[in-house]
Amino acid sequence: MALLTNLGIHRAKPKDSVYTLKDGRGLSLRIEPNGAKLWHWYV
């Protein structure tokens, strides 16, 4: 799994349903249909 990059985060556009981008190190970015981007860090 690739690490999240600044460019990849900015290019992440909202879709019809929620989706998640993961970096494989416990960090993920959830993209909501309304355009909100929420960080999750799993320890």
Strands 19-22 and 27-31, sheet pairing = antiparallel
Percentage of residues in the chain with pLDDT exceeding 90?
81
**Average pLDDT of the chain to the nearest whole number:** 94
Give the pLDDT mean for 22-28: 91
Q: Is 24 exposed, middle or buried (0-12, 13-18, 19+ CB in 10 A)?
A: exposed
- 4-10: list long-range contacts, CB under 8 Å, 24+ apart: 4/29, 9/37
Whether pLDDT at 28 is above 90: yes
pLDDT in tens, 5-21: 999 999 999 999 999 99
pTM of the predicted structure, to 2 decimals: 0.83
Neighbours of 6 (CB within 10 A): 7
Q: Say what the pLDDT of residue 41 is.
A: 96
